[in-house]
Chain A
Amino acid sequence: MNDMRVVDRAVDAQDLKIDAKNVDVFYGTTHAIKGVNVEIQDKTVTAFIGPSGCGKSTFLRCLNRMNDTIDICRVTGDIRLEGEDIYHAKVDPVQLRAKVGMVFQKPNPFPKSIYDNVAYGPRIHGLAGNKADLDEIVEKSLKRAALWNEVKDRLDAPGTGLSGGQQQRLCIARAVATGPEVLLMDEPCSALDPIATAQVEELIDELRSRFSVVIVTHSMQQAARVSQKTAFFHLGELVEYDDTTQIFTNPKDPRTESYITGRIG
């Protein structure tokens, strides 16, 4: 049913944003990611699909060095953001994460007001010179996350009081507020009901106009609906990476075919 849209979007392929080469990830002695090569383009939605435990989330977390927060995790290989090695010794992961934002599986608003949730990033990164600037950033970000109209009258209410879908859009607004270049989304809809999912998916499509979006998803339909490029992971390996249309209509690898036809996963 989504073929129309897939074909429609395959056109605007852009410049290279992230270039990952020979990436290996180890958790202790477990080899979680095995020699993955991916090129992620700007102003594109790239989807990572694959069965549970295939390493797609782990790989996503390499892209903004979130794996640094796990003691036993070790990453090797070469990941470049616009040509600059993000694992280079001179890179401060804090600064990197401002450029490569992240939205998580479960909505995780801070136990603060809606306003403070969105303002958190700009405040720590010093993006706003004064209160008016900050107000503006908050408003823009909430509008960008399609949440403004629902919350503009209660910005002081706690973010945890919103519904699940609203919370996830608040988290997206929070990520957008730091002005990132890439947005990583780790199964952003898995904890949401179908209506909220539809809203978030629509939002992802809009975000594409400004950011490079990488989304990990469990649902092949979702990948087909929102993405232009799709990578299929299996047992820590990147099996196939191509235009979404290509993957879903004419997979090259038999494993990809088994997965999308529902035989593995």
Chain B
Amino acid sequence: MTDAAANTPRKKSSIYATDANTKKRNAREARFRAFGLTAIGIGIAALVFLVVSIVGNGYNAFRQTYITIPVELAEQRLDPAGNRDPAEMARVTTFGYAPLLAQALQQHLQAEGIPMDGVNPRDLMAMISQEAPAQVRAMVLANPEIVGQTITLEMLAGGRIDGYFKNRVTLESAERDSNVSPAQLMLAEAMAAAGIIDTRFNWRFITGPDASGQRPEAAGLGVAILGSLYMMLVVLVLALPIGVAASIYLEEFAPQNRFTDIIEVNISNLAAVPSIVFGILGLAIFINFAGLPQSAPIVGGLVLTLMTLPTIIIATRAALRAVPPSIRDAALGLGASKMQAVFHHVLPLAMPGILTGTIIGLAQALGETAPLLLIGMVAFVREFPDAPPEGLFDPTSALPVQVFNWTQRSDPAFVERASGATIVLLVFLVCMNLLAVMLRRRFERRW
């Protein structure tokens, strides 16, 4: 080592003085940190923006505008024969009821002394939802005795009037809108002042069935929620036992061989297969081949089961693996068979983990949309399905599909409905995830 120059310590420098190079490096360090913070900021901002946008658009779906007026259910119109026979009264269609309501509204407005400037009777009728006559008809047919009486009815206001009270429709926008005139809105304002129109919580949105594209004000989520519930039931009943059985075999009994390898590879690949491919599977196998009905929760449930299985299997295996071998050894040492050791000791200890994984799998399945589109769940369904098991074969909708369905309709009021449905969906998901977190906290065990 003759040349000492390269390795002699650099010229004496105080460590108090930061040299230029270090300054530059520290600036780079600060920049890098800032990038990191920005990235986190972007992620969180995106989340906040998304939630605010959905909630902002959707919270109005939970309020609805109603018109409350006394209506005389005139006998000569509703029951010309006068015998209160529902079969005969059913001949009077909703078109027979509509003028009755319009008339009642007109009379009531006159009685209250509210001027109807520029609103002809036809426009007045348009302020009441098209759904209202059907509701009154159903009420009358269910209880024919009320015909001839004057009763106070609570009717849905039309979609545009509803929109006016939710600031979706304004006087300016009404100028350009062929479905509503500013005069109608002024009248609505006056009616609201007189207490005829009011806006309140909208239970129908959560419990009622869907309505056609012209009546956004009447559209509800009842069928969709029930359909989703049925599917979750199918998924839970099928995926949990099958998933747990498969995991127990793979984790506790499976020998190291070709067959096991094939299963493992299959499970990890299925976990990453696009969901729409499962939809194609459902369409080809369950509907075209096995002949199960379209739009039925049973088919949706089967497809979602196949999708959820890998999630449940992966979670269950992790939970089984977390049970220390000493527990198995202890049971085996007492003369239990391997099967007894697993079912009596390992499985109960792994149960919280398995349930957590199952809930998370269910939450995923609840939000899944694409495969359901392919098995016909987009269809317009108004009837509630029967109770299971027959109901599993009735056509229904599902929450996420209902959201999609509503976005495809032209009336802008459906944007509010779709966002409202999304809020309901998100509330369900939050509840399920909280349950999973609580389970994990409550039963978390450190070995």
Contacts and interface: CB of A to CB of B under 8 A. Distances in A.
Q: Is there any pair of Cβ atoms, one from A and one from B, under 8 angstroms apart in the complex?
A: yes
Interface of A: 81, 84, 86, 88, 90-92, 94-96, 99, 124-127, 136-137, 140-141, 143-144, 176, 179-181, 210
23 contacts: A84-B14, A90-B17, A90-B18, A91-B15, A92-B15, A92-B22, A94-B22, A94-B25, A94-B26, A95-B15, A95-B18, A99-B15, A126-B21, A136-B6, A140-B7, A143-B1, A144-B7, A176-B7, A179-B7, A179-B8, A179-B9, A180-B9, A210-B9
Interface string B15-29: 111110110011000
A143 B4 CA distance: 12
B3 interface: yes
Contacts of A136: 6
A125 B8 CA distance: 16
Contacts of A84: 14-16
Interface of chain B: mostly helix, strand, loop or mixed = loop
B91 interface: no
Contacts of A125: 21
Interface of B: 1, 3, 6-10, 14-19, 21-22, 25-26
Nearest to A182: B9
B74 to A, nearest CB: 81
A211 to B, nearest CB: 8
A136 B4 CA distance: 12
Q: Which 3 A-B pairs have the closest CB atoms?
A: A140-B6, A126-B21, A90-B16
Nearest to B6: A140
Contacts of A99: 9, 15
Given A126-B21, A179-B7, A179-B10, A144 B1 contact: yes
Nearest to B26: A92
A84 B26 CA distance: 21
Contacts of A179: 7-10
Nearest to A177: B7
A90 B10 CA distance: 20
Given A84-B16, A91-B16, A95-B15, A137 B22 contact: no
A100 to B, nearest CB: 9
B1, B6, B21, B25: most-surrounded residue (chain A CB, <10 A): B6
Nearest to A127: B10
A71 B298 CA distance: 54
Contacts of B19: 95
B429 to A, nearest CB: 34
Contacts of B9: 99, 179-181, 210
